[in-house]
Structure 1
Amino acid sequence: MPFIEESDLLELHKDIDKAQIINERLLDQIKVKNRELKRSRIQRNLFAAITVLFLIGALAITSFTIGLTSNPNQAQTLPNMAWVSDSLDMVNKRLATLRKQNEELSLVKEFYLAKEFIEKEKIYSVQVKAFIDKNFNLAPQALTNTILVKNNPFYAYSLGNFETLEEARKFREELVNMGFTDAFVASYQDGKRIAIEDPN
């Protein structure tokens, strides 16, 4: 294993700590989004119920008004019909807005479910470094497919989450070509490393 300069090691420790903080922030954001999703569902259901009641009431009033007016007074019903039409347009716009919000919340939910899946299923990742301290951050905020696992006394830092060993091996080859000559494939489950896999 090659020698690591102390200054490089300290720099890596700082980078890894930053990554841990970012991961914690992402988990907090997921929790907030889940709460917003629940709140949005309740609001959407409440709004849908109110809308249905409003439409039923509007149709009942319109039917009653049409029933009271006979053909000679047909001109009086036209303003009522315009009002119902405007109300329906408003309801349709609100429904379109709610559908869009639902799609956005579904993306957050899918991310959260994918994270749960990764933690429960056996996955493969490419370990690039191991450090003694956890006070570092190697990952930018946008990089979410990283794994930081404590293997006493070290913290192992891995990149990529792969379903198959072959995918992880190909990614390892790319990292070795980039200069990570010590990189190796490891399997993980429940947030813990199970085994170091054969590179071939």
Structure 2
Amino acid sequence: MPFIEESDLLELHKDIDKAQIINERLLDQIKIKNKELKSSKIQRNVLGATTALFIFGLLGLFLFNAGRLSNPNNHLEQQNNLLVSIDSLDAIKVRIDNLREQNQELSLVKEFYLAKNFLEKEKVYSVQVKSFVDNNVTLASEALTNTLFVKTNPFYSYSLGNFETLKEAQLFRKQLVDIGFKDAFVASYKEGKRIQIEDPY
């Protein structure tokens, strides 16, 4: 049997190890290339399927629209849809107008209560036109603006107008006397109570 030197044996093992490492690297590169080929094949298949679906979708849409356009009843349906849309727009406009009116009414109510609060705190002049023994609510509603209905023992007095100055109240009293309220007189009020009867002239 031939004899191999130990150094030659070591060199041979080193060569085998190097060859094994090179083979493992080549196998890794082959695996990587196979993965790249598989992924590119999958991408080509997905792209092809997507393109085919897109083309079929466009073709279907084209055929659907062509069928709808050839149907004469379809034109009437589109007009009816347009009429329904216009009707619903009119309904919305009416609703908006109603809401605007309600908003204006609420603003007037708010202004009325703000004015009433102001009148209760400030001294105002008004023209008393009548006094009643009983509280006759039918003649004096709190909803009436520019009126005062005050209890002055033992009577309830009904006054018209709310004026900041005595001169304005006196001028209004003269107009009321001219139209038939001969007993009308000017009084000053504060916090909802009569303070005094003022000079009528």
Question: Normalised by the size of structure 2, how large is the TM-score?
Answer: 0.48
Q: Which has the larger radius of gyration?
A: 2
Considering Cα pairs closer than 8 Å and 6+ residues apart, tell me whether 1 or 2 has the greater RCO. Answer: 1
